[in-house]
Amino acid sequence: MYLFIKRCFDVVISLIALLILAPLLIPVVILLRLTGEGEIFYYQKRIGLYNKYFNIIKFATMLKNSPNIGTGIITLRNDPRVTFMGKFLRKTKLNELPQILNVLKGDMSVVGPRPLVDKTFNAYPEYLRSKVYESKPGITGIGSVIFRDEEKLLSKTTIPPHEFYQMHIAPYKGELELWYNQRKNFFIDLSIVFLTAWHILFPESNLIYKFFKDLPSPPPIFDEVLLS
């Protein structure tokens, strides 16, 4: 029953979102065509339900050859590969909106674990890789809210970004997704949608930890890095 309700919710919310956001999406499409490299959408192979691949759709925010430049798939704060328009889209999370089309197709849900590329997925501890995508990946999710400013964390650490991601971010992110899979229900999904909007408006808020008191605790090194 939960899966049926969730699918109905996904379709209804996606259709409503497309109608409401059309006046915003159309200018973004035009501006992307006229700026940067003229690319509008970015398609990338991601891991989805039961570890099967699909192509995620996003607004283009980086140079086309970005995966072969600098830090590769790791994006840092003030990354020079991000276009002028891309900075705004990434900061406001508007670059994620085309994933509404993935939800309508059934590749994704509104709420679920973030769909990853092979390299970041393989950074999960082995015991998590077969469990994370027991749920359909989502536009937002518990990991997306907690790591809403992952770029800041990766930019401030003195440890090489790829190493810091694999040692500290990936294991914690995996535990968060496991937490969601073990507790998922419609109330938690609605709560995550609310918290996503809340943290966009109040990015420094820690309301999510007050909302879900049994979340896995973040590694102490996160505070050490952010306070350094």
Place of tokens 């089309």: 101
Buried b (16+ CB within 10 A) or exposed e, 150-165: bbebbbebeeebbebb
pLDDT tens column, 25-80: 999 999 899 887 788 998 999 999 999 999 999 998 888 767 766 676 777 667 87
User: C-alpha 180: how far from its chain's center?
Assistant: 15
Enumerate residues 6+ apart whose C-beta is below 8 A from 105.
none
pLDDT tens column, 124-174: 988 899 999 999 999 999 999 999 888 888 888 889 888 999 999 999 999
User: C-alpha 76: how far from its chain's center?
Assistant: 15
pLDDT in the model for residue 61: 85
pLDDT tens column, 6-37: 999 999 999 999 999 999 899 999 989 988 77
pLDDT in the model for residue 68: 66
pLDDT tens column, 93-118: 888 899 999 999 999 999 999 999 99
